[in-house]
Amino acid sequence: MPSTAELDIDPPPEAVSIAEQYSRRERPLSAFVVLLAVSAFLATNLLTSLLPAIAVAAVSIVVARAPILQSYGTVHLRTDDDPETVVESFTGPTPPVLAFQWGLADEVETADETVTYRMPYLFGLRTAAVTVHREAETAADGTRRVELDVTANDQPWATYAVTIRPSDDHTVVDVEYESNRRFGLRRLPQQFVADRYRDDALTAQGYTVVERDSHFGL
């Protein structure tokens, strides 16, 4: 993780630590999925011949990569921060719901309404550019709304619609999210590990997860 001086932002260190824990567990699991596919190819080759093994490998690749799943859901949060502070956190360079992006970025570029995280993968051989376009508005009843439109390498990735309102001595935050692209079965390990750490990352930033409703759909 680069220093905050290099990034010119001040990411919450506890959330960064959780993002790194997520990465340490997600990468071996994703590699294990690849190993299973290779093992199936080798086993088929040993038991039969090369041609059936190639067929098994081709089917495995198609099944693993075919874009058939889409994630969506809602998260109900509460925090002791006032609504204005919450709006600033969601429209700033480190939106609370994107801790796995800015927490693992090697470089962060900010502009007026966008922020881009450059994230290494494949052992640093390649880099993904995740860009977030941020918009905020105030409704007639005073409720604040923030929309985060996220792209990965200039392709649609996800949308987060955030509603922020005061309630007694705390602030209520409702997040509705939906992936804008479908993904293959090979992404399931990544999703499962992310589900394990998402709430911890939000808690580290001062948000209590009251309720989460997550889905995978065809």
Share of the chain above pLDDT 70, in %: 81
Report pLDDT for 66: 62
Alpha carbons 14 and 163: distance in angstroms, whole number? 25
Q: Domain-by-domain residue ranges, the chain? A: 11-39+65-217
Of the candidates 212, 160, 152, 218, the one whose C-alpha atom is nearest the C-alpha of residue 185 is 218
Best CA proximity match to 197, nearest among 3, 6, 10, 21: 21
pLDDT at position 34:
66
198 — pLDDT class (breaks 50, 70, 90): very high
**Which tens digits make up the pLDDT trace of 141-197?**
889 999 999 999 989 999 999 999 999 899 999 999 999 887 766 677 777 888 889
pLDDT at res. 127 = 84
Cα gap 137→45, rounded to integer Å: 60
SS3 169: coil
Confidence (pLDDT) at 97: 96
| Statement: residue 41 has pLDDT above 80 | no
Q: Among the CATH numbers 1.10.10.10, 3.30.530.20, 3.20.10.10, 3.30.930.10, which is that of 11-39+65-217? A: 3.30.530.20
The pair phi, psi for residue 168, each rounded to 5°, is 55, -120
Tell me the residue length of the chain.
218
pLDDT digits (tens, 9 = 90+) for 44-83: 777 888 887 777 667 666 666 666 678 899 999 999 999 9
